[in-house]
């Protein structure tokens, strides 16, 4: 694409004004400058800009975004100080300020970020100490055997409520620092308990418990009849380390069976490798599988009862 200097543009505009003909202006341009002339629409555009500005043959620079006043910034700041968990659309509706302006002021002027709420278990100081000790033990295990974690079969049980789950996408809070806000949710709606195990290569399960209370006998029956035969089929060399959470229903009836079957190769409450209680998101099921599954189960319309769930 050819470029033209300001003097060349002014030359074309002058001769167009004189002759009232873009073609004549092109001919004059060729004679004077010995180069390909601008197109007629280009000459028309230059002339139009000159007539509008009375000073320039170039396109006028578009006006920039208007500066947000200090009063507007302060109004938005006060709005979120009063209620930091509101959405930008809600703040826009309350203040009458465009939503895009609210968002820009929060990010650019007030240096705030949107943080999502996290649903967590309450941990005592003693829980944190035991958890750290377990992590150190796992680090030592992996130093002695680089493939140790590949042999661990992680297990967990989660509850699926008919009422669905808390959608933390819509539970946000604005602030210049992470406020570490948490949200509690009700867990007494109709439900089904799901047990699942996950190795490096595959998922074992899901195993469903329709019982309101899961006893050690029910859990042991599931292990003996369903899960352990599958594990034994894949574990010809006897390397599997089975991990289970230390919830009370699994404690008395199951411990002796696991000691006999795995011969020291299991992780859990009072196990050869002690599993810390209330472990926050340490397993693949905690930080991946359950969220992945629930995102696909709780797609509207939500199930009306346990059978549909």
Q: How far is CA 258 from CA 65, 155, 214, in A?
A: 69, 14, 18
Question: How many domains would you assign to the chain?
Answer: 3
**Do residues 191 and 101 share a domain?**
no
**Do residues 149 and 15 share a domain?**
no
**Do residues 190 and 285 share a domain?**
yes
Which carries the bigger pLDDT value, residue 248 or residue 164?
Answer: 164
- pLDDT band at residue 167 under the 50/70/90 scheme: very low
pLDDT reading at 153 higher than 90: yes
Of 87-96, 97-106, 185-194, 208-217, which range is least confident? Answer: 185-194
**Do residues 166 and 252 share a domain?**
yes
Classify residue 298 by its DSSP letter: S
Q: Which of the given ranges, 127-131, 178-182, 242-246, has the highest pLDDT on average?
A: 127-131
**Do residues 151 and 29 share a domain?**
no
pLDDT digits (tens, 9 = 90+) for 80-101: 998 888 889 989 999 999 999 9
**Do residues 100 and 185 share a domain?**
no
> Which domain, by its residues, includes 97?
70-111
**pTM of the entire predicted model:** 0.54
**Do residues 243 and 99 share a domain?**
no
- Residue 103 tokens read as 């968002």
Strands (E), 188-251: 191-198, 203-209, 241-243
**Do residues 41 and 74 share a domain?**
no
**Do residues 267 and 167 share a domain?**
yes
**Do residues 210 and 100 share a domain?**
no
**Do residues 193 and 137 share a domain?**
yes
Q: Give the pLDDT confidence score for residue 53 in this predicted structure.
A: 75
């Amino acid at each position: 694409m050819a470029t033209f200097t300001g003097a060349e543009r002014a030359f074309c505009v002058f001769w167009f004004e004189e002759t009232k003909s873009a073609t004549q202006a092109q001919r004059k341009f060729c004679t004077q400058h010995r180069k390909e002339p601008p197109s007629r629409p280009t000459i028309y555009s230059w002339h139009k800009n000159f007539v509008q500005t009375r000073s320039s043959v170039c396109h006028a620079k578009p006006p920039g975004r208007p500066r947000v006043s200090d009063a507007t910034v302060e109004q938005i700041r006060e709005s979120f100080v009063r209620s930091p968990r509101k959405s930008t659309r809600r703040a826009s509706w309350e203040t009458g300020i465009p939503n895009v302006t609210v968002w820009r002021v929060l990010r650019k002027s007030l240096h705030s970020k949107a943080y999502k709420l996290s649903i967590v278990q309450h941990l005592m100081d003693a829980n944190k100490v035991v958890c750290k000790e377990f992590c150190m033990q796992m680090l030592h295990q992996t130093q002695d055997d680089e493939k140790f974690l590949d042999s661990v079969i992680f297990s967990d049980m989660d509850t699926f409520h008919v009422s669905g789950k808390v959608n933390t996408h819509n539970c946000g809070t604005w602030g210049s620092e992470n406020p570490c806000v948490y949200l509690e949710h009700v867990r007494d709606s109709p439900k089904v308990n799901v047990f699942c195990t996950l190795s490096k290569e595959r998922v074992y399960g899901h195993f469903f418990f329709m019982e309101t209370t899961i006893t050690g006998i029910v859990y042991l029956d599931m292990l003996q009849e369903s899960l352990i035969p599958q594990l034994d089929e894949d574990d010809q060399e006897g390397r599997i380390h089975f991990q289970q959470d230390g919830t009370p229903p699994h404690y008395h009836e199951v411990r002796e069976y696991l000691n006999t079957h795995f011969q020291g190769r299991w992780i859990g409450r009072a196990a050869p490798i002690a599993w810390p209680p209330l472990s926050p998101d340490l397993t693949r099921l905690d930080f991946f599988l359950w969220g992945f599954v629930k995102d696909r189960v709780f797609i509207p319309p939500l199930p009306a009862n346990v059978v549909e769930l």
